[in-house]
Chains A and B, each alone.
Chain A
Amino acid sequence: MILTEDRLQGLLDASLAELPPLAADFAVVLEGSIAEGFGNPSSDIDFLLIGRGDEDLPTMPSLLFVDGRRVEIRTRSVRQLTDQFRTLEKQAKRPGTLCEDLLNRCQRLLHSHPLRGHDLVDEVKELMPRERLSRIAGDWWAHRARQSLRHAVALLRLGRTDEAVDWNRAALVQTVKAWAADRGETYLEPKWLSLQLDRAGRPDVRDRYGELHSTTPAPGDPDAARAHLLACLAFAAGLGLTGVAADPERLTVERAAGVTTWQTGERVHVIRRRREVFALGDRAGAVWRGLVPGRSLPRALAAAERTGGTAPGPLLAAFWRYGLIRLAWKGGGTVTASLPLAAPPGPVTPPPSTAQPPLSVAGAAVSGPDAVDLVPLPADRFAAATMALVWSNVVVENALEDLTGALERGQWPVAELTARRAVHAALRGLFSSYGVNPLPADCDLVHRMDLLPPATEPIRTRAGHLLRRTIDSPGRGEAALADLHAFVTLVRDTAGADAFPSCFDSADAWRATLELGHDWLRIGAYLDAELPIEEARDLLAGHGTRPHRSGRHPAPGRNGRWPTR
């Protein structure tokens, strides 16, 4: 140990003097790197105070600075320690779910150095033999090493060569930690691995580990990465690691829980855990649609290559990274690689897409054919906004029809109101395309355009003019209609709604409109989103008929006519 007994006792006295007087006698141990025989002048001093009772002592440690050293003091009662070891034994049956912090706490205590109350310290150390802890820690590390190597095998097959090499290295550390743990070197922190290997008395293992760890395969070279992987696997097998091979056929592509696919028109949307929406570009969508759960990774890649073109590996890697699919090892469950004492494993969430506007009636905007873009809206608002966008477009069409009819009959006040309705509907569509939801009230729409990007300023100006427009003669009516058409075109061009079928033009276009409406309704239902329910109901009760030209409506309301506000 780098500190003498006297020095440690001195540090303990000085530390305890800074704390409120203890109510009872405590045993005290030094744990951590110094107790393990490692450490350096800047290492922390970690004291654990052990109370004989069964009280719940606080988990939060006291932090002190004594003689230039950072001192951490924790407290645990015998009852708490007993529970801790019991839980460890229970969790040890499944190393994949064994809590890292729990293992760390138990390990540190069993390998601690007693400073006071030696009898009590001996008593708690008898809660678990050190050999048992060695086995548990060894299994725990072996599980991680196996996962990292499987992860590397997958990455290599997916064409993520350099990432695969980094996971090879992570697996190397974990493999050697597992091997060392079986020999009693259980301290979890990988920082002291070189000293642990020195103590293990197997210079051949230490040297081979060092050699492989420092090998740097040529970046982007799959053959070099594979050679490195094979060397790491051989080394791991030599140290007794089982359950892994450089055979990607052992990997299968599986569904991830809570991930669903929804297509609107040609756009494929993938919704993760009902919260996030990923919009896939055309190629990404084709690859995604070719994924059949249960197929081996090589077979999935071959199928993806047929549907999405060459080199689909990075796309599958992105799906995997974002938790949209799982990879499983045949007979070994889900591949879940993680670095101990680091961030917990789990799907990565990319930054939200910056494509503007984010939504169109055909679906979320994407940045390119290979895009796996995170829509910058929560899923339920995404569904509600797109639904509102669809309805707005339909209402615009409807209002323009009505305006034409009113002008034909010289119904000027009716025409004036209808023109405003068309303007408001177009603005609602514009707001929706930018993801604004719920929408402002109609009379606030023009005022709330400050929510939208400056590029929409011309729309605001023209909307203001149109809303103040008076229609009291055929000439003014025709001019208003022409301006309204131009305005709607401007809005649609800005909102990207030009792809929307002009639903009144033909039976085919109307059917396409209905289908799109049903597509969005389906997503909205899945997300329990706030939908324009009345409109949806009208759509559903529409009997598949087209809205009629003005004057030929069978009846207002639910008989084939889109609702208008």
Chain B
Amino acid sequence: MADTMTVLVTGAAGLVGAEVTARLTAAGHTVLALLHSRTRLVRNNGRGLTPGPGTLVPVTGDITRPGLGLTDDDRRLARTADRIVHCAAVTDFGLPEERYDSVNVSGTRHVLDLALAGPTPLVHVSTAYVCGERDGTAYEDELDVGQRPGNGYERSKLTAETLVREAAAKGLPVTVVRPSIVTGAARTGRVRDFRTIYPVLKVFTRGLVRSAPGHHDAVLDLVPVDHVADLVAGAALRFADAEGRTLHAVGHELTLRDFSDVLAEYPSFQVPRFVPPSAFSASALPGRERPYHDRVIALYGTYFRRRVHFDDTQATAFGGRRAPTRGRTYLRRLLDHCLRVGYLGTPPPEEPAARRTHGSAQ
């Protein structure tokens, strides 16, 4: 590896992208930060990213367009990159399929076109939930094992990762990092964006939905955003060690029973009843609960059914150790942070939640 590198980071303004960018510039490298609509990079702690000692070069683009929608000058600049880190993706649930195809599939294809032209080594950020709806252990070297994706997001990420594998077969040096459900920082619980599981927590703890389909032993894996960023940045910086590997960036396994027991520790929180999916009927919910169920909980229903464990042998060997904190302790940190900043614990609104929801894994 050269002493300093130039790294093109797509989705650099996103939760993971900004943290990866911060780590790369902190290590002295130049980051070409591909930005779509946002112009400012904000770190997970809410502060603007101050690059250094490396350099940050914002580049406006759109991964849904061929050539990433770059100007000729920016395209020339992008070709100087020593690495590409592809973080850009839509991660919200419940969007039209075309949206997933456009950003997650076509976007990845366009990034691969750029990478293959070099060829430029690529770190592709996927999701651990490409494993689809299944129980048991999901291994890092597995991809398409005939699984059924849980939603359009998972389908698109599976397709995108398949494209990446195909490019690797053509000789492109590739590393795939698969985060699970990205949540707050390991030590503080702090999070910049209350997406992924956060709206679900809000709906449950306010008692806006009191019954939900799910197995008490279903497992959700919550990974601190700093752990994901460490692993992605590490893969870019130590690419020789990571090349050809798929790394599960996973964190704390929490069952629905864990969620139930920990939520019960907070006097003001309502604890949802998890009813076996076979015994659950959304139409039987009180009218007041139905909109919240349909707009938030139903989008996450697939994750309340799975009893999946992510093997992270390769990630651990690479140096991406899981945090030593226990899962329940970590969940408390997330909840405490939400209470501190008023995301949770405020009185329920009069009207159902806004139409836009963000129930997604990475």
Contact = CB atoms under 8 A, between A and B. Distances in A.
A543 B260 contact: no
A544 B280 contact: yes
Interface string A275-317: 0000000000000111111100000000000000000000000
Given A292-B345, A293-B266, 6 more contacts: A290-B267, A292-B266, A518-B275, A522-B273, A525-B216, A526-B261
Nearest to A289: B268
B37 interface: no
A262 B264 contact: yes
Contacts of B265: 255, 259-261
B267 A288 contact: yes
Nearest to B281: A544
Nearest to B278: A543
Contacts of B336: 293-294
- Do most interface residues of chain A lie in helix, strand or loop, or is the interface mixed? mixed
Interface string B327-362: 000000000100110000100000000000000000
A514 B265 CA distance: 24
A24 to B, nearest CB: 50
A515 B274 CA distance: 10
A260 B258 CA distance: 13
Nearest to A292: B345
Nearest to B275: A518
Nearest to B346: A292
Interface in A489-544: 507, 511, 514-515, 518-519, 522, 525-526, 539-544
Given A292-B345, A515-B273, A518-B211, A261 B264 contact: yes
13 contacts: A255-B267, A260-B261, A261-B265, A262-B264, A293-B345, A294-B339, A514-B279, A515-B211, A526-B260, A526-B264, A541-B279, A543-B278, A543-B279
Give the interface size class of chain A: 20 to 34
Nearest to B279: A544
A379 interface: no
A262 B271 contact: yes
Contacts of B340: 294
B276 interface: yes
B275 to A, nearest CB: 6
Q: Which 3 A-B pairs have the closest CB atoms?
A: A260-B264, A292-B345, A291-B267
Contacts of B281: 544
A543 B274 CA distance: 13
Nearest to B284: A511
Given A518-B273, A525-B257, A292 B279 contact: no
Interface residues of B, number: 27
A541 B267 contact: no
A460 to B, nearest CB: 37
A48 B211 CA distance: 67
Nearest to A560: B279
Contacts of A522: 260, 271, 273
Contacts of A541: 276, 278-279
A289 B267 contact: yes
A325 interface: yes
A540 B216 CA distance: 11
A255 B284 CA distance: 34
Contact of A261 (B211, B267, B274, B339): B267
A293 B268 CA distance: 9
A270 B264 CA distance: 9
A544 B284 CA distance: 9
A506 to B, nearest CB: 12
A454 B216 CA distance: 42
A561 to B, nearest CB: 13
A511 B289 CA distance: 15
Contacts of A540: 275-276, 279
Contacts of A511: 284
A303 to B, nearest CB: 9
Interface string A449-487: 000000000000000000000000000000000000000
A519 B273 contact: yes
Contacts of A543: 278-279
B304 to A, nearest CB: 14
A289 B267 CA distance: 5
Contact of B268 (A262, A291, A544): A291
A519 B280 CA distance: 15
A291 B265 CA distance: 11
Contacts of B210: 515
Contacts of B257: 525
A557 B17 CA distance: 53
Nearest to B339: A294
Nearest to A542: B279
Interface in B220-258: 257
Contacts of A507: 284
A325 to B, nearest CB: 7
B314 to A, nearest CB: 35
Contacts of A515: 210-211, 273
Interface in B259-306: 260-261, 264-271, 273-276, 278-281, 284
A526 B210 CA distance: 18
A196 to B, nearest CB: 45
A373 B19 CA distance: 50
A264 B273 CA distance: 11
A262 B211 CA distance: 14
Contact of B339 (A289, A293, A539): A293
A377 B134 CA distance: 42
A211 B271 CA distance: 53
A255 B271 contact: no
Interface string B149-184: 000000000000000000000000000000000000
Interface in A246-278: 255, 259-263, 270
B175 to A, nearest CB: 41
A255 B276 contact: no
Interface in A535-558: 539-544
A468 B269 CA distance: 51
A511 B339 CA distance: 33
